[in-house]
Amino acid sequence: MKNTLTIAGSDTCGGAGIQADLKTFSAHGTYGMSVITAVTVQNTMGVFGCQDIDADIISAQIDAIFEDIFHVDAVKVGMVSKTETINAIADKLEKYKPNNIVIDPVMISKSGFDLLKPEAKDALIKRLLPLATVLTPNLPEAEVITGMKIDNISAMKEAAEKIHAMGAKNVFVKGGHLSDDATDILFDGNKFTILEGKRIDTKNTHGTGCTISSAIAANLANGLSVEQAVKAAKEYITTAIEHS
């Protein structure tokens, strides 16, 4: 069994964050571990508060994993709200060098709560983005990272190219915020892979971003290529939304 680690915030209702990641890791047959970066007050209706974990405790949690569990086959990084948190995580990932790092640049909740402090955006782009085996922004997050408006496939491709140039090895731009079908784009620096998806009429999408990124991480840990891992994760989350 492969070992997977999530570095992210906690979700009170269990549908997103650490809780969603651990459930997804288990569903993919991997052993899930966690480093908690923040404790949030949230449910399916929104995020109502957040308390960050001190950076030294985050660093110590990561050390506790890597100094004991020598084979961490994939790491998923989710909610990282402060510059100090980002620097602590980046320092440890650079030290331990896990093979597969999936970074979900969580910035704003669906209810409009700032999960990434605005002043920490540059740190995320400069410190964490270049460490990503796969970066998984949705359209609003890709807009913040690139500074461009993204509302169609052509703009998604341009954004993916810009983000790849910032250092991410593979960029998976999620199109759930498009007005028509939920089409996603994967860019590996040379090739675009278009992942078409039908629009599912449901409001039950809490935690889908967390879930798909942790599914990608688990698939990479299990030996799939990046393209295979992303395609399988999209199938997994589509089924989850259909049966939400």
Let me know if 208 is a catalytic residue: yes
Torsion angle (degrees, nearest 10) of CA 231, 232, 237, 243: 120
Q: Is 14 one of the annotated active-site residues of the chain?
A: no
Contact between residue 29 and residue 222 where contact means Cβ atoms under 8 Å apart: yes
Question: What phi, psi does 192 have (nearest 5°)?
Answer: -95, 135
Active site residue 24: no
* Active-site entry in 2, 92, 174, 234: 174
Which residue among 9, 133, 209, 211 is the active-site one? 209
> Which one of the listed residues 133, 146, 210, 234 is annotated catalytic?
210
Residue from 44, 193, 205, 238 carrying the catalytic annotation: 205
Active-site position among 4, 30, 208, 211: 208
207 given a catalytic annotation: yes
Give the number of residues written for the chain.
244
Question: For this structure, is 50 an active site residue?
Answer: no
Q: Reply yes or no on whether 210 is catalytic.
A: yes
Active-site entry in 207, 211, 231, 234: 207
Cite the active site residues: 174, 205, 207-210
